[in-house]
Amino acid sequence: MDTDAVLQLLRDVSEVAINPRFRALAEDEVHEKNPGDLVTDADREAEKLITAALLGAYPDAVVLGEEAHSADAGLMDRYLAAEHAFTVDPVDGTKNFVHGSRDHAVMVSETVRGQTVRAWIWQPQHELGYVAERGAGAWCGSRRLRREAAVAPLDGRTSRRAWIGASFGGLPALRLTWVSCGIDYPKLVEGEADYIVYHRAAPWDHVPGTLILREAGGVSGTPDGVAYQPRLRPARGLVIAADAATYDTVRVALP
């Protein structure tokens, strides 16, 4: 499937499985995987449709879907060892979706021998698609994305709620992210934040956005200075930033 065809797949699946349920979820369409960890019938249906289409086109690939992983923990090991693989996050920002917020997204990435080669983020309620191909740039429609270097004072966000309002190393106080990586990464690329500190780094959450960010000129890595890549499972989370200088400033400042 070419890059445009995959983006169209995400658009089509959104029209079938996600948009009809937006602000119209029945009580029995919302479930808890773990306390506070929600999943909806939209997540499950969208992931099945996307996974089936990808495997139809690439039958030898491993598809790591967020919901499939919940049912089969061994899927992660197969993904990490795969020559060719995809990640699928069918509704990134499920809590936002459940609460009627437009800030949710559908995300897919493709990796070959552990390196991300293509990435897609579709924001169905904003009708915005972000795509990247390794070495060929990041795009929103026909507009090439280029992140300018950040200037002080740095606008920082975090998914770690205990750190909201905290200030490290003299940096301005952290604010909450948009609570969806499929919204966060494009917001950073578009200049609405300068860096984001994440507590966790599941592949389906971060592999798509990190390629889009990198192709736009940004940086992603661990607080220890290790560049992010799809097979990395960082114990201390992830820092994404507008540029290398901002990344270094933030990671050194973090406790």
| Model pLDDT for residues 130-142, shown as the tens digit of each residue | 999 999 999 999 9
Q: What per-residue confidence (pLDDT) applies to 244?
A: 98
Q: What per-residue confidence (pLDDT) applies to 190?
A: 98
Residues of the chain with pLDDT under 50: none
What's the rounded Cα separation, in Å, for the pair 23 and 6?
Answer: 26
Kindly report the length of the chain: 255
Q: What per-residue confidence (pLDDT) applies to 35?
A: 84
Q: What per-residue confidence (pLDDT) applies to 36?
A: 81
Decide if 14 contacts 124 (C-beta within 8 A).
yes
Q: What per-residue confidence (pLDDT) applies to 37?
A: 87
Q: What per-residue confidence (pLDDT) applies to 34?
A: 82
